[in-house]
Structure 1
Amino acid sequence: MKNVLAPYLPEHAVDTVFELIKLYGVHLKIVNERVTRHGDYRRDESGYHKITVNSNLNKYRFLITLIHEIAHLAAFEKYGRNIKPHGDEWKLTFQKLMVPFIRPEIFPNQLLPLLARHFRNPKASSDTDASLSLALKQFDEAESEKTYIFQIPYGATFRIYNGKIFKKGAQRVKRFECLEVSTGRMYLFNPNAEVELLP
């Protein structure tokens, strides 16, 4: 299992992650990219703990995602299955599991202050923390080809991963109001949303 994990994780995180996987009896499956999620945790009918993580994630996002999913399992085991999936119990568990990894042997120095801030109150997705998400994306292999909504001009038309077309509107606090062209409905986009700018 360590040999399978090693290419997906920072080198100094492999042993600790492997111990967590053994401790919690995780059945880990590394899967093809899913646009709507980086990872997933499920307990099946027979009681097996199944975690999936996308194979295309860079090593730092893969580590955060895997610990995020293990935190679901650990929180359910400690507090019971009636807790909120991303409630206080999960946040506390995620923080405790992540702390040993937030060090310079594992994460690049430029990520450490962003991770420290994020893990004071972790969100359901690291993608909702725009500064951390953008910082993590710079380690993606195809980073140079990506365009983010904060980079395109006001009024520009763009397409998202599912083919829907929008027109960029004003920024409201952190997110951008965007009009879906076909329906006239307004949606809010995080500044780090990946888009395809249309002519």
Structure 2
Amino acid sequence: MKTILTRYIPEQAVDPVFELIKSFGVHLKIVNERVTRHGDYRKMPGGGHQITVNANLNKYRFLITLIHEIAHLVAFKKFGSRIKPHGSEWKYSFQKLMLPFIRPEIFPKQLLPLIANHFKNPKASSDTDARLSLALKQFDPPSDKSYIFELPVGSLFKLYNGKVFQKGNRVVKRYECKETETGKIYLFQPNAEVELLK
């Protein structure tokens, strides 16, 4: 397991992550990319704990995602199964588990202040924290995708599912975009990755 972890997370995080996996009896599965999520946690019928994480994540996002999912397990064990999945108990567990990893030996210096700020009140997904998400994406392999915030108003773009939208104006933190086929308006995060149509 340690050898596998070295391919997916920063080297200095391997031993402590391995200890967490061992102590909580986690069955870790590294899976092909799922567009809608980076990872998930599931309590198995036999009482075991399965965590899946997408294989295509860069090592810093992989680490954050893995700790995010272990925090679900810890929160449910400590506070019971009736808690909200991303409620205060999960936030507390995530902060506590993540704290030992927020160090310059593990994360690049430019990420540390953004990660520290995010963990004051962690969100259900690091993608909803636009500043952290954009900072993490600089460690992804090059892509032909564009961010919504980069596109000119009125431009057309396509999602992974083939749906085509026209970018509208920014409303508070998100962009109103019209689905061309139905005319329905949807709100997009500024850092959503899309394919610009020429």
> What is the aligned partner in structure 1 of residue 177 from structure 2?
178
- Output one character per residue of 1:133-174: Cα deviation in whole Å (capped at 9) or x when no partner: 01000000124x331000000011100111100000010111
> What is the aligned partner in structure 2 of residue 60 from structure 1?
60
Alignment of structure 1 residues 117-136 onto 2, 5 Å: 117-136=117-136
What is the rounded CA distance, in whole Å, between the counterparts of 1:135 and 1:128 in structure 2? 13
Shift of 1:128: 0.3
Q: Are residues 1:167 and 2:147 paired?
A: no
Amino acid at match of 2:27: H
Q: Are residues 1:19 and 2:19 paired?
A: yes
What is the rounded CA distance, in whole Å, between the counterparts of 2:134 and 2:42 in structure 1? 28
Instruction: Please list every run of 5 or more consecutive structure 1 residues that lacks an aligned counterpart in the other structure.
Output: none
Shift of 1:79: 0.1
> What is the aligned partner in structure 1 of residue 91 from structure 2?
91
> What is the aligned partner in structure 2 of residue 47 from structure 1?
47
What is the rounded CA distance, in whole Å, between the counterparts of 2:5 and 2:77 in structure 1? 24
> What is the aligned partner in structure 1 of residue 101 from structure 2?
101
Kept in 1: contact 2:145–2:196 (CA 8 A): no
What is the rounded CA distance, in whole Å, between the counterparts of 2:112 and 2:53 in structure 1? 22
> What is the aligned partner in structure 2 of residue 150 from structure 1?
149
Alignment of structure 1 residues 73-88 onto 2, 5 Å: 73-88=73-88
Instruction: Please list every run of 5 or more consecutive structure 2 residues that lacks an aligned counterpart in the other structure.
Output: none
> What is the aligned partner in structure 2 of residue 198 from structure 1?
197
What is the rounded CA distance, in whole Å, between the counterparts of 1:177 and 1:4 in structure 2? 42
What is the root-mean-square deviation of aligned Cα atoms in Å?
Answer: 0.7
What is the rounded CA distance, in whole Å, between the counterparts of 1:155 and 1:20 in structure 2? 48
> What is the aligned partner in structure 2 of residue 112 from structure 1?
112
Shift of 1:111: 0.4
Q: Report percent identity of matched pairs.
A: 72
Amino acid at match of 1:197: L
Q: Secondary structure at the match of 1:96?
A: helix
Amino acid at match of 1:163: G
What is the rounded CA distance, in whole Å, between the counterparts of 1:32 and 1:104 in structure 2? 29
Q: Secondary structure at the match of 1:18?
A: helix
Shift of 1:44: 1.4
Q: Secondary structure at the match of 1:51?
A: strand
Q: TM-score of the superposition, structure 1-length normalised?
A: 0.98
**Where do 4+ consecutive residues of structure 1 move more than 4 Å?**
none
- Output one character per residue of 1:41-84: Cα deviation in whole Å (capped at 9) or x when no partner: 00111111000000000000000000000000000000000000
Amino acid at match of 1:170: N
- The number of residue pairs the alignment matches comes to 198
